[in-house]
Amino acid sequence: MFGYSDAVKALFKHWPRIGVTLLPLFFALLHSLGWVQLNALQRLDDILYDTRLRATMPATMDERIVIVDIDEKSLAQIGRWPWSRNVLAELINKLYAEQNIALLGVDVVFAEPDNSSGLQQLRSMAANEFKDQAAFVNRLEQLAPTLDFDAVFTEALKDRPIVLGYFFTNDPLGRTTGALPSPIFSDADLGGHFFDAPEWTAYGSNLVPFSKAAPRAGHFNSFTDADGVVRSVPLVANYQGSFYESLSLAMFRAIVGQPRVQPSFSKEAFLPKAFRGLDKLVLLQGEKSLAIAVDKRGGALIPFRGPGNVQGGSFRYVSAIDVLQSKIAKGELKNKIVLLGTTALGLYDMRVTPVGEAYPGVETHANMVSALLDGRILVKPDYALGYDLVLLILAGLLLAFGLPLLSALKAVLLSSGVLATLVLLNLWLYLGYGLVLPLAGALTMTITAFALNMSYGYFVESRSKRDLANLFGTYVPPELVDEMVQDPDSYSMQAINRELTVMFCDMRGFTNMSETMEPLKLQAMLTGIFSRITDVIRRHRGTIDKYMGDCVMAFWGAPVETEEHAELAVRAAIEIEQVVRRINEEHRQQGLPEIGVGIGINTGVMCVGDMGSDIRRSYTVIGDAVNLASRLEGLSKIYGVSIVVNDTTKLLTQRVVWQELDKVRVKGKEQVVTIWNPIAITTDTNASLTDELKLWSQVLRNYRAQNWDQVDVGILNLLRVAGTKPLYRLYADRVAAMRHLPFDASWDGATRFESK
């Protein structure tokens, strides 16, 4: 009628579905333009960047750069920081006189005079040697030239290639200390262009004599992102309309001949000059020039070489005390670029970075100097927004108009192809050109568009399958629901009697914790533990029945029948016991209380189905076999084990090593039940465990024969083998109480319990 082609007709037919698939593109564009801030996408972009950075780090040592470390060993021998300036002067003198280094960068500020001068020595000497006036005067003459340690330090700085460090801050009162170096350019050099450099109101710099002796200096500020991670540094900072270089840039300029710095701005002709942001710093020296790519803030991402610190393998670390004591061979650091900094925790120069949560600040500068030397700068370019918008629009429209026309398999292939293209293009630009471009928005949009399209198009499954999934989805693992929907008529919520295996898993210790812990913390802890236990149960094809306070009830064999219901339950219990051990290890590290677990498992005929009232119903199991499992869980504490299983479950379970615990009569039942503890998978057995179980079997035979002396001997042997195992102590106490009773020929060896 309209003369449209088949494709156009198909698009018209699927227009509502196309509209739904376009929604992720709409929100992704709003986020990219900054009109709607989706913090999750920014966080994902950070995660993707960090992952990519760690995966592509060279992990090799840069032999050109050495870090002289004011480490814990140095502090232990010389004393706490700050050190006397004469010590630092000696350190610098040794680096140049003995090691003949090429350049020294100082990641420390000397903002206050040295109060540890030789005057203190004179006071002490006067008190101890005043009786010998001639000796005192002679010593005074010897010390006179070194009384002013600041002067000694100033002399050590003079006429040497040294770059001092300082910092900017936003002090409300604008307080400053020391003297700033000369700026590299000012507002007048911007030519009316836009430059969003970080602007500071105060600074902490080096004393004037030091700044005059070593006029080269650079700030060691960094950018800290919203998640508290340091990923980049400002190569240029703004203070009162003048722009100052970073420590790493100042060191690089000192290495390459101190070229002047000229800002360069983006060349987009369609933008007014005031909106053309900084994109490069150009170093000019005669007719030579070198461009350093920066972002609009004048910053560059830190291209970390490795995980950092002394063991990181990216840079050689030399302890400051080893330099001072000449333990480094003369000339070993010849022509090296040296950074003086600290890894001592007490000096607070550790930063959270993508490659380490306690990363030395001095090594961030070393990474930047290394990258500048290699021309390996990572930067988010000013056209990143345009790149992101183009990719979003192209990929979003392709998915929106393509997915509704494709089958499920072809839709998966198209979405996978778009994802692969986005990732590979991003990685190619990163590895080949050092461009850090956004990726999270496009990836999230692609995945969400695919998910919405498939969800909207889901109409193939029959009503009965959907109803079945709705009925059992909250009880049964998803993989079992998938099996059930293949034959939905075989399943219903109607109550039936069937042989099943039921488990009660009780967390011990929460009652005491509830008296000392805040409710929200207790709730969070219990939720986390239950989540991990539930995951184990579901992976072993169990059905969660209910949560009762600090207890989980689950069963196996319904609604999906399985012959291995007993073995699956036992294996799940063994894994839960292991999970609780791991949880306790985590709690010990975090200073949290430990927990215990008690598990009771029973196999028998029970009624399973949808039960309850008109107000609330649930898919559950009831019956005598269920009650017995609850009783067995309570016995676990008495016998000092985590898992108690009855005879029926044990007989249906293969490949498990068992230890018999006792014969018991639980409350409300006269029938004797033999209870067992699964202690290992058969592949985990060893000779000592086999010997222990043989010896325990003999003890039980003697116990039931009322041969108390033999029981005592056997238990003593067991305690030597297995230590203070609660089960063996329990029987030792029983024998001690029973040996005074007369022999009872009618006793069947069973223990009666009158409480639950």
Give the CA distances from residue 172 to residues 48, 76, 111, 528, 741, in Å, rounded to whole numbers and listed in that order. 36, 37, 19, 44, 86
> Is the pLDDT assigned to residue 379 strictly greater than 60?
yes
Residues with Cβ within 8 Å of 407's Cβ and at least 6 positions away in sequence, in order, are: none
Among residues 713, 717, 706, the alpha carbon closest in space to that of 743 is found at: 706
Q: How confident is the model at residue 460 (pLDDT cuts 50, 70, 90)?
A: very low
> Cα(first)–Cα(last) distance of the chain, in Å?
79
Tokens representing residue 29 in the block? 């564009």
DSSP state, residue 239 = E
Give strand ranges (E) for 522-575: 543-548, 551-556
**Pair 481, 472: CB distance under 8 Å:** yes
Average confidence (pLDDT) over 358-370? 94
Give dist(CA 648, CA 662) in Å, integer.
Answer: 14
Q: Which helix (DSSP H) or strand (DSSP E) does residue 141 occupy?
A: helix 133-143
Give the 3-state secondary structure percentages of the chain, helix then strand then coil, rounded to 5. Answer: 45, 20, 30
pLDDT of residue 369: 96
pLDDT digits 0-9 by tens, 58-76: 989 999 999 999 999 999 9
- Per the CB < 8 A criterion, the answer to whether 565 and 604 are in contact is no
Task: Give DSSP secondary structure letters for 189-225.
Answer: GGTT-B----EESEEE---HHHHHHS--EEE---EE-
Look at 3 and 304; give whichever has higher pLDDT. 304
Q: Where are the beta strands (DSSP E) in 473-574?
A: 496-508, 543-548, 551-556
pLDDT category, 575, cuts 50, 70, 90? Answer: very high
Residue 745 has pLDDT above 90, yes or no: no
88-135 pLDDT per residue, tens: 999 999 999 999 999 999 999 999 988 765 555 555 555 555 456 666
Q: Report pLDDT digits (tens) over 478-522.
A: 555 655 555 555 555 567 898 999 999 998 877 777 777 788 888
More confident residue, 455 or 207: 207
Q: Are 369 and 64 in contact (CB under 8 A)?
A: no
What are the phi and psi torsion angles at 584 (to 5°)? -65, -35
Q: Which amino acid is at 720?
A: R
pLDDT greater than 50 at residue 52: yes
The answer to which of 144-158, 269-283, 558-572 has the lowest mean pLDDT is: 269-283
Question: Residue 267's pLDDT band (boundaries 50, 70, 90)?
Answer: confident
pLDDT of 276 > 80? The answer is no
Q: Answer yes or no: are the C-beta atoms of 297 and 234 closer than 8 Å.
A: yes
| The predicted structure's pLDDT at residue 287 | 85
Q: Which of 306-315, 462-471, 510-519 has the highest mean pLDDT?
A: 306-315
The DSSP call for residue 618 is: E
- The pLDDT score that the predictor gives to residue 383 is 81
d(CA 675, CA 644): 6
Would the pLDDT of 308 be above 50?
yes
pLDDT reading at 462 higher than 50: no
Q: Is the pLDDT of residue 271 over 80?
A: no
Alpha-carbon distance values, 409 to 13, 412, 465 (Å): 20, 5, 21
Report the percent of the chain where pLDDT is more than 90.
48
**Mean local confidence (pLDDT), 263-286:** 75
3-state secondary structure of 376: coil
- What pLDDT was estimated at residue 248? 96
Higher pLDDT, 450 or 146: 450
pLDDT of residue 50: 92
- Identity (one letter) of the amino acid at 481? V
Cα-based angle 80, 84, 85 (whole degrees, multiple of 5): 140
Quickly state the pLDDT bin for 467 (edges 50, 70, 90): low
pLDDT of residue 349: 86
Query: Do 714 and 695 form a contact (C-beta atoms < 8 A)?
Result: yes
Q: Please report how the helices 384-402 and 408-433 are oriented relative to each other, as an axis angle in degrees rounded to 10.
A: 170
Query: Average pLDDT, stretch 367-381?
Result: 90
Q: How far out from the chain centre does Cα 706 lie?
A: 58
pLDDT band, very low/low/confident/very high, at 4 (cuts 50, 70, 90) = very low
What number does CATH give the domain 477-752?
A: 3.30.70.1230
**pLDDT tens readout for residues 589-610:** 888 788 889 999 999 999 988 7
* Mean pLDDT for the stretch of residues 418-441: 92
Lowest mean pLDDT segment, chosen from 144-153, 193-202, 448-457? 144-153
Looking at residue 469, what is its pLDDT?
A: 57
pLDDT digit string, tens, across residues 25-39: 888 888 888 888 888
pLDDT at position 461 is 39
Residue 619 has pLDDT above 70, yes or no: yes
| Average confidence score pLDDT of the chain | 85
User: 565 pLDDT band (50/70/90 cuts)?
Assistant: very high
